[in-house]
A = this chain, B = another copy of it.
C-alpha cells in the first residue's frame, strides 16, 4: 500500500492509479509554489481542512485562511526557486489517503537565502469527495531542541 519517491514518478509494484493521482496533485502543488500561484496552492483543500503550519497560529481553517498566509509568506521566498520533496510515502484506501515526507525550497542564484537552509516535515491527509481527493488535514513542522528551545534545521533529508 505504500510507495516511496524522490521527485520521481512511482515505478514500484505497489503503484496504483490512486497513488499516481495523489502524487500528481503534489507535483501540481510544487509547480504552483514555484509560480507563486496562490489559487493553485489551495486548489485541493476541503472547506473544513485544518492546517497545522510551521508558524503560529497553531491551526488554520479552510482554503481562504491558508491562501492568506501564503500571500503573506511568499515575499520572503527567493526570487526564483525549485520546490522539492524527498522520501514521500503514500498510503491509499477507498476513501482516505495519507502522505508524509520532507519538503525543501532550493533557491536559484541565491544559495545563502534563509528559505533554503532546511527541509520541512510534511504530513497530508486526504478524503475522497465525489470522486475527487481533497486535503482534509495537513501538518507541517520542524523539530526543536528541547533543552534550548531552538529550532533544529533538517539539513540532510536522508539522515
Residues of A within 8 A of B (CB): 1-2, 48, 50, 52-59, 76, 89, 91-98, 100, 102, 119, 121, 123, 125, 127, 136-137, 139, 141-146, 149-152, 154, 159
Q: How many copies does the complex hold?
A: 2
With contacts A91-B127, A151-B144 taken as known, whether A100 is within 8 angstroms of B52 at the C-beta atoms is yes
Whether B57 pairs with A89 at a CB distance below 8 angstroms is no
Whether A139 pairs with B123 at a CB distance below 8 angstroms is yes
Known A52-B141, A55-B145, A58-B102; 17 more pairs at CB < 8 Å: A50-B89, A52-B100, A54-B143, A54-B144, A55-B143, A55-B152, A56-B143, A56-B152, A58-B152, A76-B146, A91-B96, A96-B98, A98-B125, A100-B125, A139-B139, A141-B143, A149-B151
